[in-house]
A and B are shown apart, each in its own frame.
Chain A
Amino acid sequence: MRYAVSHLTTVKYAAPVQLAQFAVRLRPAAWPGQTVSDYALSVDPAPAAISDGEGGYHVNEAKFMLREPIAQLRIESRFQVERQPLPHAIGGATGPGLTDLRERAMARPDLSPLSPASYIFASPIAQPEHDIALWASGFLGETMPVMEAGRALMEAIYRQFQYDGDATVADTPPIEAFHQRRGVCQDFTHIMIIAARAHGIPAAYVSGYLRTLPPPGQDRLIGADAMHAWVNLWCGEELGWIGFDPTNDRLADTDHIFIGMGRDYSDVAPLDGTFRGSAQQSMFFSVDVAPLD
């Protein structure tokens, strides 16, 4: 599938702010089965320079600074992407059992941004939670193959949790969403990451997009009108990282467009900013992922 993606962010300040500085994480990082072309980031008012770099994990990061006072900012990210279907073999693969998987992850002499060791420990938002670990124990076993474990967690969240955009806000701790059994893709992703890590499975937060309108005859996917999030689990050396989308109870496939991967939301947040001043800010997003084929 080929898509044209556009993502517009508008930030408004109640009063002009000075020395506004931003980090933007919207340019897709390299990912198997996905080819990106014609990436363009435009910012209005235009900064003197935009510096492109990499975040700490598997994510691209652009930074810029606006020296003149601003009352409003418009950031537009556009690109085209070709998404290959998942290799057929993955559908039937099982991967190693959980104890085996954990030992393999721990044994790899690898600290790269895609190394399993980097995603097996607690992270700023995905802190260990006894209740989530206990809940996950109900679906997992020591010898259970990792693909089966991933599917079990994904399905449990999909069945037991209510998608509810009003139940949580961006910085609601995952444990709160867990206890009220409600939330959005970001909450479900964090809960699944905490559950997987509690049982020694390397688990990462993926930020990305879903196609906006479904193919004819299919339901619209949940979370298609904004940025989406799902979980990458490390499923052993052969399978590598596999995407599990607990919001839609399916593996990340041709409808999922990969932007970046980190330990949790904080590593891949699409926009971080600071400024001098004391103005209230409000933010508006619009996302469109349109098939080109």
Chain B
Amino acid sequence: MPSDPQVEAMTGPRTWLDDYPAGATSGDLFGDAPAPVAGKWKAMACALAAIAEGDPATLQDLTARHIADLGLTFRITGDDDERTWPLTPMPLIIGAGEWGQIERGLIQRAALLERLAEDIYGPQRLVAEGHLPAAVIAGSPYFARKMLGRGPKSGHFIHVYAADLARGPQGQWRVLQDRVRLATGIGYALENRLAMSRTTDALLSDSHVRRLADFYGTIREGIATDCRRELPRIALLTPGRFNQTYAEQAHMARYLGLPLVEGRDLSVIDNRLFIGTIAGPKRVDALWRWVNTNALDPLSFDAKSQLGVANLFDAWAAGGLEIVNWPGVEVLESAAFSAFMPRLCRVLMGEAPILPTIATWWCGQAAEADTVQRRLDTLALLPAFGEPVDGLPDRQPVAGASLDGARRSALLEAIRRRPMDYCAQEIVHLSTTPAVIEGDVVARPFTIRVFVARTPDGQWAVMPGGFARLASSDELPTSLMGEGDLSADVWVVDDGPTDFQSPGRLTHEPPVTRGGGILASQAADNLFWFGRYNERAEITVRIVRSILGSSIEVDGSRVHDGEVRRRLVDLLVQWGAINPTTAGEPLAVVGGRALAENLLPGGVAALLRMRHQVGLGLRERFARDFWRMVSLPMPVIDMQRPQNLVSTAKWLIEHFSALAGLASENMVRGSAWRFLEIGRRIERAVATCRIANHLSQPQVSPESLGMLLDLCDSQIIYRSRYLTGPMRNPVYDLVLLDPDNPRSLAFQVAEIAAHLGVLPAIRDDHLPERPLRAARTIMGRLETAIAQELDAASLQQIEAQLLDLSDAISLRYFLQFDRKGEDARPSLLE
């Protein structure tokens, strides 16, 4: 801890690390570092202190701000909401020498895992020759019998491999777990680096830290090489936006430029995989799956799973699809398998493992089961195959020494009945690393997750860095992040400048393209609804503002007519923004309730929540600034103070304007932008019809016409055009028929028709499709109408036509399926 930054400045290069209490007994990454690497640590600590002006707490705040800017979040199992990512600002520094050993060990291990997968799903020589018990394979819930004899055409079972490593007290690295199912953390490692480089500026290059960017390019190129088509389409298959690591999947998809797809976006036809897009089905060559094998195909594996694609199996079995990693490789991940890794390495690779595995005993063998019974107090027990078993219901390892009499004998009895369900592992003590926590620099035990990818030439590349997890205790991690854990960036440093730090060793220049890539039907659907929810929320806020009486004044006089405001309250009830029982309350209460309403579908809080839900599925398409605004919490509504309500409404309207500005200035004018626009414009058109009609009941009055102008933001134009106060036909013409008023009904419909007209066609007969015809029908009607003819009946008819148009768009462009639960789209318009 620094005492006083000024004293520090005078005494020279003292750093936060000078008084760092490196644990003398347990080993510490900084404490053990050889002189040149320790020098990097100190330089880093100096630089961080300078950035933070001596106060570690400032540094934490700064990092937290960059994290918020990046929009980085995660969930822990059981979470409903996303949490902010806990990155500690001090990185782990590993010298090139120590890292070289890790790198060689990981490459050896990746090659070993590849050969294991080949043998298990191929000749099964290891089982036949007695090197591996059949039960170690059959016991895994991920063993996919259907994959037997069905290897990838490319010959590559594994493209992406992750491992959890622990550093022991003497500095020896060990593999805690191999991960070939999901490379969780691979995106967070990148995000940690992004946040760090924002915080620390030139420190990374000054410290000669190896760059991560090339590694991610390698993943993509490695997969592309295995596809049998030039410029293949590679998609990232996600379980959906409620998955724990969805944020990470979305970040990876965006960073690598891969379409992010769900099972229902995809279909298999003639053994080839297609993605449903607004321009019809498009071929997919490869899937990077973030979905378990068992869930990939309901007709070949778990029939209940909704995450996969029917007959996806046929697509890869017939060679029409690369899939990363190959289905079934998860079988290699079990604890039982770890017990055999040292031996299998010698059998298959003819050499000892460079990186040892955490010592593991599988009780399915009599001798091992005996050892475990004898040494129980020095070992931890865990399920052999990752699933809950009798005595270990939550899958967590349990230290043998911690078991009391009753639990101990129950567990021993369970092991006696089914020994093959249990493994035991040595208890590993972890090295510590310096961490900035709550304003202090303290020693924290850590593990790191490292990543390996297959290169385009079929070799292996190790990410020079990784994802560090700083545990709140010495216990081994069982998931990426647990309660109270922190993450940190991992720096692999060279002594001086080398090739590893220079950017971009790109293999070839890509062909130039334009546009926003393909637009999946489901993404189009989400964009459309995002636009609708957003617009409906905005209109509702405008109505609330008018009810509260802070509308733009007309000719210097406020709208005093209580009757008109009551009509608006009535409209809020119709739209489900407030309960009918609220309607009789004072206007301030009505306004406050409409803003705060989160249960009824038309409340502003509810609409913003639904907008956010839909937006989660679009996150990889939105600019970070845009998404940050969408994620802002709803302001607190203070019912007691109407003046606060007015400013809240104002704030919200500014929020909508800012979003509209970002969309209009930053979004590529592709199909995605068009669907966002179409959604907004349909909603605005319908609302305009409804408001005009509603305010004309029981009869039009100058006040109701003024209100209509107000809600359609057309006061100024009206006043510039007419010298009189609001009169029916001039107002109706301006807000309904004038094609040049960007707030008019006619303008919305013309925009919709224009967007529909340039969306991709499926048929090549060049005839307008149904949505376009529907839009043009309404447009024709508005183009030929005069204000005098527009009565309640015709406004109702136009509203019905608009709803039909919305249905036609939905039928033509979106996927048709049963929406359930969170996915349901509450009808906005009844």
Residues of A in contact with B (beta carbons under 8 Å apart): 18-19, 21-23, 55-57, 63, 65, 103, 105-111, 113, 115, 117-118, 120-122, 124, 128, 130, 133, 171, 197-200, 266, 269, 272-274, 276-278
Contact = CB atoms under 8 A, between A and B. Distances in A.
A118 B145 CA distance: 10
Contact of B138 (A21, A117, A276): A117
Given A56-B146, A103-B366, A109 B299 contact: no
Contacts of B134: 108-111, 115, 117-118
B303 interface: yes
Q: Is the interface of A mostly helix, strand, loop or mixed?
A: mixed
A121 B417 CA distance: 12
Interface string B810-828: 0000011110000000000
B299 A274 contact: yes
B303 A111 contact: no
Contact of A121 (B302, B314, B385, B388): B385
Interface in B118-145: 124, 127-130, 133-135, 137-139, 141, 144-145
Select the residue from A65, A113, A133 with max chain B CB neighbours within 10 A: A65
B310 A21 contact: yes
Given A198-B418, A272-B298, A278 B138 contact: no
Interface string B502-520: 0000000000000000000
Interface in B265-304: 267, 294, 298-300, 302-304
B427 interface: no
B310 A109 contact: no
Contacts of A122: 141, 387
A273 B311 CA distance: 11
B389 interface: yes
B364 interface: yes
B310 A118 contact: no
Interface string B689-724: 000000000000000000000000000000000000
Nearest to A65: B311
A133 B421 CA distance: 14
B364 A106 contact: yes
B113 interface: no
Nearest to A137: B417
A231 B300 CA distance: 23
A237 B492 CA distance: 56
Interface in B368-408: 385, 387-390
Contacts of B418: 197-200
Closest 7 CB pairs of A and B: A56-B145, A278-B818, A117-B134, A117-B138, A274-B310, A272-B303, A56-B146
Contacts of B815: 276
Nearest to B418: A200
Contacts of A133: 390, 417
Residue picked from A109, A110, A115, most chain B C-beta under 10 Å: A109
Contacts of A107: 133
A122 B139 CA distance: 8
Contacts of B389: 128
B135 A277 contact: no
Given A65-B311, A106-B133, A111-B124, A57 B139 contact: no
B420 interface: yes
Nearest to B387: A122
A110 B138 CA distance: 10
Contacts of A118: 134, 138, 145
16 contacts: A19-B267, A22-B299, A108-B134, A111-B124, A115-B134, A117-B139, A121-B139, A121-B141, A128-B390, A198-B417, A200-B417, A200-B418, A266-B302, A266-B303, A272-B298, A278-B816
Contacts of A128: 388-390
Nearest to B137: A111
Contacts of A108: 134
A115 B421 CA distance: 18
Interface string B294-338: 100011101110000011001000000000000000000000000
A119 to B, nearest CB: 8
Given A23-B299, A124-B302, A106 B135 contact: yes
Contacts of B133: 106-107, 109, 117
Contacts of A130: 390
A117 B303 contact: no
B370 to A, nearest CB: 13
Contacts of B390: 128, 130, 133, 198
A37 to B, nearest CB: 28
A122 B418 CA distance: 11
A115 B141 CA distance: 16
Given A19-B267, A106-B420, A115 B130 contact: no
Contacts of B310: 19, 21, 274
B387 A117 contact: no
Contacts of A198: 390, 417-418
Interface string B554-588: 00000000000000000000000000000000000
Given A106-B420, A109-B127, A277-B817, A117 B135 contact: yes
B303 A56 contact: no
Interface string B213-257: 000000000000000000000000000000000000000000000
A62 to B, nearest CB: 11
Contact of B299 (A63, A106, A111, A197): A63
Contacts of B294: 124
A81 B453 CA distance: 53
B817 A278 contact: yes
B420 A120 contact: yes
Interface in B351-365: 364-365
Contact of B130 (A21, A22, A109, A272): A109
Contacts of B420: 106, 120-121
Contacts of B304: 171, 266
Interface in B736-768: none
A277 B267 CA distance: 14
Given A118-B145, A266-B303, 10 more contacts: A23-B300, A57-B145, A63-B314, A65-B311, A106-B135, A106-B364, A117-B133, A272-B298, A273-B299, A278-B818
Nearest to A113: B145
Most B Cβ at <10 Å: residue of A65, A106, A171: A106
Contacts of A269: 303
A130 B392 CA distance: 11
Nearest to A118: B138
Contacts of B366: 103
Interface string B601-633: 000000000000000000000000000000000
A118 B135 CA distance: 7
Nearest to B820: A278
A150 to B, nearest CB: 17
Nearest to A262: B145
A280 to B, nearest CB: 10
Most chain A CB atoms below 10 A, which of B298, B304, B314, B417: B417
A120 B817 contact: no
A28 to B, nearest CB: 19
B820 to A, nearest CB: 10
Contact of B816 (A65, A113, A277): A277
Contact of B298 (A18, A200, A274): A274
A18 B129 CA distance: 49
A122 B366 CA distance: 21
Contacts of B145: 56-57, 113, 118
Query: Which has the most chain A C-beta neighbours within 10 Å: B130, B135, B137?
Result: B135
Contacts of A199: 417-418
Interface in B777-819: 815-818
Contacts of A278: 816-818
Q: For B139, B141, B145, which residue has the most chain A Cβ atoms within 10 angstroms?
A: B145
A130 B420 CA distance: 17
A40 to B, nearest CB: 22
Nearest to B299: A23
A172 B405 CA distance: 36
In the complex, which of the residues B130, B146, B418 has the most CB atoms of chain A within 10 Å of its own CB atom?
A: B418
